[in-house]
Amino acid sequence: MGTSVQVTPLSGAYGEGPLCYLLAVDGFRFLLDCGWTDLCDPSHLQPLAKVAPTIDAVLLSHADTMHLGALPYAMKHLGLSAPVYATEPVFRLGILTLYDYFISRRQVSDFDLFTLDDIDAAFQNVVRLKYSQNHLLNDKGEGIVIAPHVAGHDLGGTVWKITKDGEDVVYAVDFNHRKERHLNGTALGSFVRPAVLITDAYNALNNHVYKRQQDQDFIDALVKVLTGGGSVLLPIDTAGRVLEILLILEQYWAQRHLIYPIYFLTNVSTSTVDYVKSFLEWMNDSISKSFEHTRDNAFLLKCVTQIINKDELEKLGDAPKVVLASMASLEVGFSHDIFVDMANEAKNLVLFTEKGQFGTLARMLQVDPPPKAVKVTMSKRIPLVGDELKAYEEEQERIKKEEALKASLNKEEEKKASLGSNAKASDPMVIDASTSRKPSNAGSKFGGNVDILIDGFVPPSSSVAPMFPFFENTSEWDDFGEVINPEDYLMKQEEMDNTLMPGAGDGMDSMLDEGSARLLLDSTPSKVISNEMTVQVKCSLAYMDFEGRSDGRSVKSVIAHVAPLKLVLVHGSAEATEHLKMHCSKNSDLHVYAPQIEETIDVTSDLCAYKVQLSEKLMSNVISKKLGEHEIAWVDAEVGKTDDKLTLLPPSSTPAAHKSVLVGDLKLADFKQFLANKGLRDFLQVEFAGGALRCGEYITLRKIGDAGQKGSTGSQQIVIEGPLCEDYYKIRELLYSQFYLL
């Protein structure tokens, strides 16, 4: 049988919950994403808690809470300790997303599910991979290769390809086939016939409008409100889709010479933009080329101001403005407070650019028709004063005394245990610390009492008198002082990289804005006060899809093109999942699965796979030819056994001659250019007509293939039509020269 593959959804199946899936490949257990909602309900993680200690590797696809929000909690409380793999942007922006969420929670509650240190610890040992980089796993995962590929949707977004024994398992969720202002489209279309494709049905029922028209409608909606004296709130994520929206606003504000202020407000907004400026190689070609030629960085924002608190907004009062504030769910963060401030004014607009998570305020406001009033909880942290402060200080003092007493008792017990074990080992002279400590100020350059620390010291039996270890300084000296070795002061390259490039362990010092760090480092005793209030929703509410996912029509087309042997559908409403399942089952011979949460399905390939090794005797007679980055050759061999391993050996008899094979993939447009470079266009008129390439008056080249084999590179052929004349043989010879002959 083929490679054993089992899939178990832990969350995000037959629903739009956070994404988290268990994938077992020949017993090696992958956790595909580790998402959580902004509500942070630990009960939603019960399926993950059952398997977390058994996970061997975690693969992260995107840098938002729906894909990695539960990672710190799982590592702190659920026993997850596996290595984590992600691209550099997902690693960096994922930390910022969790920092922003934690700070937003701490400002309005005594949030204790995880801390900043837990976030740092979760990302401490993340293995960062580049796109298309093959990473070979070791030990239990020997023989498994993982590789990230472009997914679109978010910066660093990943389609994971997991390969074992020549069979591919592809995990592709939230991908986007469209090229955007800062992102390339997904590379999923380049995969052909994987053994298993795990993808989502999130947008199966939705079809997008023309992108340019959507951008125009978006800007027109903003300008209409601003010119009417109102303000616009865009609830956004921390470091994901907001990047595309920032570029849209930058472009249209510059084109239309608009002067209304735009504010990007999160706890880590300046850090987010600073990091993104250095990720140009992860963006699309136009941004990279623009920077190479003009040194113009697309994220040197001129129309957008990054701020980390509401003070600047309050200075403007009711002046028209656009505010992009986190969190997108409106549950916590700046967006929650700004919504409460703006909701009472009919001239204002709250424009959602993504679908709200279930159970959140954002989702409640996106229903049709929207509610006229909503209940919200307003909370804030204030310093303790008066009796509360006094009671807090007394409690802290009591806790300190208890801890000091406990530490002292532990020290005494350790001391007694140490003395007891040493006394049993030998019978040396034991020094009593209480009689040996004598206060002495004279001659002490430090001043005060200097005691000789001999607590628990036991001199060896051979010593004349008690003496602490003494190490003689054997350093060499010259006329200028001690001789130093320069190599002792040279940093290793890894240490330099870690010093110059802040990592997950650097925490607040490197990744938080100054204001946010100051807030968290403030040790002033405080408490959270809350009150529930009813907000009248008089402002306008609108939703425009800027989520950056492929729509239903495109998802169906991509699946048909990739043509996996088996398809697993996850993350989508029950209606969308069933719709896509029926479509794929009806229009192809796919084996389609849509498992429920905690339902394990076996998608092991029906194909048989064998490992064979090439014998040195066989390879010594093979003549290979260069084909791009690879070498190809025709091999005739027999299967035999060497040391109980299948081996390809030289044939025992002379093999029959084989037909010549032309290897390569030629585009007719490239061949047309080739003929032009050869100068044949001066004698023959070469042009396209009806999808075929006409060469002169008589010769036609046509590319045909098996149209019924969707997603296959299969039996495509180039047919030469025309009489057997001189031009025919000349064109055929030039055509053959474009291929490798075996």
User: For position 451, what pLDDT does the model report?
Assistant: 47
Tell me the per-residue pLDDT of 212-248, one tens digit each, with 9 for 90 and over.
889 999 999 999 999 999 999 999 999 999 999 999 9
pLDDT at 622 over 70: yes
Using alpha carbons, select from 198, 302, 204, 258 the residue that is nearest to residue 564: 198
Task: Give the β-pairing of 304-307 and 262-265.
Answer: parallel
Give the pLDDT confidence of 98-109 residue by residue, as tens digits: 999 999 998 888
Establish how many alpha carbons lie within 13 A of residue 509's alpha carbon, considering only the half-sphere containing its beta carbon: 8
CB atoms within 10 A of CB 110: 10
Whether the pLDDT of residue 264 is over 70: the answer is yes
Kindly state the average pLDDT of the residues 108-126: 92
Residue 690's pLDDT band (boundaries 50, 70, 90)? Answer: confident
Give the pLDDT confidence of 388-404 residue by residue, as tens digits. 888 888 888 888 888 88
pLDDT of residue 647: 85
DSSP string, 160-222: EEEEETTEEEEEE-S---S--SS-PPPSGGG--S-SEEEEE-TTTT--PPPHHHHHHHHHHHH
Question: What mean pLDDT do residues 477-483 have?
Answer: 78
Alpha-carbon distance 675 to 679, whole Å? 6
Taking a C-beta distance cutoff of 8 angstroms, is the pair 559, 196 a contact? no
Q: What is the pLDDT of residues 488-507, one digit of tens each?
A: 666 544 454 444 344 444 44
Q: E strands within 295-432?
A: 304-307, 322-325, 349-352, 373-383
pTM for the full model?
A: 0.75
CA dist., res. 558 & res. 207, Å (int): 14
Average pLDDT, the chain: 84
